Amino acid sequence: MKTETLKKRLDKNRPMIAVTIRIPEDVVDDLKRLAPLLGFSGYQPLIRAYIGQGLRVDIERLEGNTVSALIASLKRHGVSDELIHKALSEATHE
């Protein structure tokens, strides 16, 4: 994840939107029980944390797949491993 995107995601004053979702009562009860044990002020922040965690994993997985596909394509077009490595180093050390 890019540094600027990460900084925005860590901002506690980000705009929020209300979302209605149906969750089984027993799951909400479990969330309410676990939230304080995990250091959350309530079950809703815990739900946001779970969603954010899953979202980050999927974004990384999908973006990683895109990067892998790009690397494979560059190799098929004759770009050397050395040049690909140099470009990746430059891109990840913004």
Burial of 23 (0-12, 13-18, 19+ CB in 10 A): exposed
Q: Which of 57, 43, 45, 39 is nearest to 12 (CA)?
A: 45
CB 22 within 8 A of CB 37: no
- The H or E element containing residue 9 is helix 3-10
Q: Which of 48, 38, 39 is nearest to 18 (CA)?
A: 48
d(Cα 63, Cα 92) in Å, to the nearest integer? 13
Q: What's the whole-model pTM score?
A: 0.62
pLDDT tens for the chain, 94 residues: list them: 566 666 676 677 889 899 999 999 999 999 999 999 999 999 999 999 999 899 888 888 888 778 788 888 899 999 988 888 888 877 776 5
